[in-house]
Amino acid sequence: MVEKKLSPEQYHILIEKGTEAPFSGKYIHFNGAGKFVCAACGSELFSSETKFDSNCGWPSFYDAKKDAVEFRDDLSHVMRRTEVVCKKCGGHLGHVFDDGSKPTGKRFCINSLALNFKVKR
């Protein structure tokens, strides 16, 4: 189920539900055309067409591929948030908020380390 061996940092994010430091991820300012896939299992998660600059410190998307992610309540850190996980492998990707871009109004705030990018062909 794992696409490749995860680095210790990827393991911390995807398996231990960690968070990378804001503005440190390789996909924050990335604007290539293609798809973002789960770094653990390779499942397609987000299209580059849904990526936008939210200036929150992590790559942001206004929508996920249909049936690619699941949502879970996250009550950690004395907050109530909605966790986003890969539907195929259960890997932690980040969180979703209701302060995003049109057309959905959602902001999927996703760790770069949880993603790989595949060029559009």
Residue positions annotated with a catalytic role: 109
DSSP of 30-88: ---SEEEEETTT--EEEEGGGEE---SSS-EES---TTSEEEEEE-GGG--EEEEEETT
Sheet hosting strand 69-74, strand order edge to edge: 51-52, 60-61, 106-110, 92-101, 81-86, 69-74
